[in-house]
Amino acid sequence: MTAIIVLAIVLALMVITFLWFYFYSRTLAWGDSETRKAVLRMLIVVGPIFGMHYKAPRPEPPTISTPGGDAKPAVPGMIVPPAADADDGA
């Protein structure tokens, strides 16, 4: 009976610790912490042992683009009749 109680307490502590870390890891404090950086460095060191190699992301090639025109974006599936000219006499 005591083993069940001890296992229940251990399980409850594990769930509480997981929830605490889950919510803490979504804060800005975790994002800028040295602990997070150290864990990531260790994963990069240990990962190749298990076949997971870190690949640095490729830099995006620079592109040159011009600003768009002043035309309003068209609505798909909508046909707009041509505007009536003032010199038609209508």
CA dist 90 and 82 (Å) reads 14
- Is residue 62 exposed (0-12), middle (13-18) or buried (19+ Cβ within 10 Å)? exposed
Which residues, including other chains, have CB under 8 Å from residue 44's CB and lie 6 or more apart? 54
pLDDT of 16 over the 80 cut? yes
Q: Quote the pTM value.
A: 0.44
CA dist 78 and 75 (Å) reads 6
CA dist 8 and 2 (Å) reads 10
Confidence (pLDDT) at 20? 93
Lowest mean pLDDT among 11-15, 24-28, 72-76: 72-76
